Amino acid sequence: MSRSIRIHEFGDAGVLRIENVEVAEPASGEVRLRIHAIGINRTEITLRSGRSPAKPVLPTGLGFEAAGVVEALGPGVTGVSLDDRVALVPSYGAAQYALYGEVAIAPARCLVAIPDDVSFAEAAATWAAYGTAWGGLIVVGALKPGQTVLIPAASSSVGLAAIQVANQLGARPVALTRTAAKADDLRRLGAPAVIATAEQDVVAKIRDLTGGKGAELVFDPVGGPEFATLAKAAAAGGTLVLYGALDPRPTVVPPFDIFARDLTVRGFSLTALTRDDAKLAALKRFVGEGLAGGAFHPTIVRTFSFEQVADAHRFMEAGEQVGKIIVTL
């Protein structure tokens, strides 16, 4: 038997339960992992709360990102060996594999080796954030050197990764955060410009920063009514990539701004890309090279024990973090 986090109903962090479960042998194309670190992501919180359109059969496990050691190989698995230290690139739903656990089954195709000088916590803080930034900025957003990208919720792990990816490309990331409280941290972590959206005129500030042109790309996990403001801050012919719904209110898409200035609005999901083998390989290569070269370096804001997983969820929901939240085992 192994301990695993499960939910029997949708709701606040109090619905998370530690239970003893029997972990099956890995099937074809799968491995069994001894989990050492779990990355906390909004996708699990959205599912746990019941806000996600995906409604798994209850009770269910959770988990989107983790790192650990290979304990068993399923039939047909190659390229990985027992006792390998590995992390996971998400290409599955947040309830498909019970990664919130001491032991879990995982798909072998999503594994990446962890270098000897990288901790399990650092590995579990990497692939969802940088993979999302890669997919949204490069694959979908087609960001080019010299262009400006707006990054709302910039203090999140994805936001910080997007800042680093944009800098590596030679683009200019503009970090958006609600108040100026996180501005110094965001500048220290690579943002050349920061806008406090509750304290400054976002459109006017972007126009000033871009010589009146606006931002070629908007990379937004928030949505809601303020999406209309981001559209006004975009350059003519620009693209707005929406990859989350942190604001539960309806997202406003202003039709006159869209058609009068030839804007493109795109949806984006990391798992929609990583289910494709070629794109998964490209993501692993891009992020791996950025890590090896020192351009990418995840920021861990706080770690929690396995028994504190509900506290980790509450900490993320409070929205005060700058960086990744990790649970260690």
Pair (250, 303) in one structural domain = no
Per-residue pLDDT tens digits for 124-153? 999 999 999 999 999 999 999 999 999 999
Q: How many domains does the chain divide into?
A: 2
Pair (225, 257) in one structural domain = yes
Q: What is the CATH number of the domain that holds 157?
A: 3.90.180.10
DSSP assignment string, 83-148: T-EEEE---S-TTTS--SBSEEEEEGGGEEEPPTTS-HHHHHTTHHHHHHHIIIIIIIT---TT-E
Q: Is residue 293 part of a domain?
A: no
b/e 246-258 (16+ beta carbons within 10 angstroms → b): ebeeebeeeeebe
Q: Which pLDDT belongs to residue 249?
A: 96
Q: Which pLDDT belongs to residue 245?
A: 94
Q: Is residue 287 part of a domain?
A: no
Q: Which pLDDT belongs to residue 79?
A: 95
pLDDT band of 161, cuts 50, 70, 90: very high
**Angle, CA of 312, 316 and 320, to the nearest 5°:** 125
For helices 309-318 and 42-49, angle between their N-to-C axes, nearest 10 degrees? 100
**Region 4-28 average pLDDT:** 97
Q: Which residues pair with 242 in a beta bridge?
A: 220, 267
Listed residue (224, 198, 202) closest to 214, CA to CA: 202
Listed residue (192, 204, 195) closest to 166, CA to CA: 192
Rounded Cα distance between 4 and 6, Å, is 6
- 57 with 37: CB under 8 angstroms? no
- 8 with 58: CB under 8 angstroms? yes
Q: Which pLDDT belongs to residue 47?
A: 96
> What is the Rg, in whole angstroms, of the alpha carbon atoms belonging to the chain?
20
Pair (135, 202) in one structural domain = yes
Rounded Cα distance between 159 and 152, Å, is 7
CA dihedral 172, 177, 182, 188 (to 10 degrees): -10
Per-residue pLDDT tens digits for 254-283? 999 999 999 999 999 999 999 999 999 999
Pair (135, 117) in one structural domain = no
Per-residue pLDDT tens digits for 168-192? 999 999 999 999 999 999 999 999 9
Pair (178, 85) in one structural domain = no
Omega within 30 of 0 (cis) for the link into 254: no
pLDDT above 90: percentage of residues in the chain: 99
Can you count the helices (H) and strands (E) in the chain?
Answer: 11, 16
Q: Is residue 281 part of a domain?
A: no
Pair (119, 196) in one structural domain = no
Pair (133, 119) in one structural domain = no
Domain boundary among 271, 289, 315: 271
Quickly tell me which residue has 């032991």 as its tokens: 103
pLDDT band of 107, cuts 50, 70, 90: very high
Q: Is residue 277 part of a domain?
A: no
Domain range enclosing 173: 128-271
Q: What is the mean pLDDT of the chain?
A: 97
pLDDT above 70: percentage of residues in the chain: 100
Pair (100, 141) in one structural domain = no
**Region 223-239 average pLDDT:** 98
End-to-end CA distance of the chain: 16
Per-residue pLDDT tens digits for 68-101? 999 999 999 999 999 999 999 999 999 999 999 9
pTM above 0.85, yes or no: yes
